[in-house]
Amino acid sequence: MAHKKGQGSSRNGRDSPGQHRGIKKYGGEHVVPGNILVRQVGTVVHPGANVGMGKDFTIFATIEGEVTFERVGKDRKRVSVYTPEQKTAAAARAKPAPAKAKKPAAEGAAPAKKPAAKAKAPAAKA
């Protein structure tokens, strides 16, 4: 008979280190040329002005300036780096969003309500 208890083996117990993906410099941060802004798989964030993209989709700064994340269309994000001069020029060129005009309500008038549905009269029995 065995005088030691048999030791079972586990098929688990292996793991690999994380790949450290994600945003490395956030909007408003100051960067110098070569700073990595985003590490990603595919173009989750697209390159904008004054940035470059490596073959592994890493986005990096090409000038010294401030990081800006922008929306392009409905579902696309873009990262750019602007110098203070470029940022003020871009703000001056940007068109303000058109404000939706509301119809002025008549003075002292209550808000309009939907007319109530009329109840059907019961049919007369003959």
- Predicted TM-score (pTM) above 0.95: no
Torsion 96-101-107-110 (CA) sign = negative
Residue 42 CA to residue 34 CA, distance in Å, equals: 20
Residue 26 CA to residue 50 CA, distance in Å, equals: 16
- Max distance between CA atoms of the chain, in angstroms, equals 102
Counting other chains too, the contacts that 17-20 makes at CB distance below 8 Å and 24 or more residues apart are none
List per-residue pLDDT tens for the chain, 126 residues long. 667 777 788 888 899 999 999 999 999 999 999 999 999 999 999 999 999 999 999 999 999 999 999 999 999 999 999 999 988 887 777 666 666 766 666 666 666 666 666 667 667 666
What pLDDT score was predicted for residue 7? Answer: 79
Whether domain 30-93 has CATH 3.30.450.20: no
Question: Which DSSP helix (H) or strand (E) runs through 82?
Answer: strand 76-82
What pLDDT score was predicted for residue 115? Answer: 65
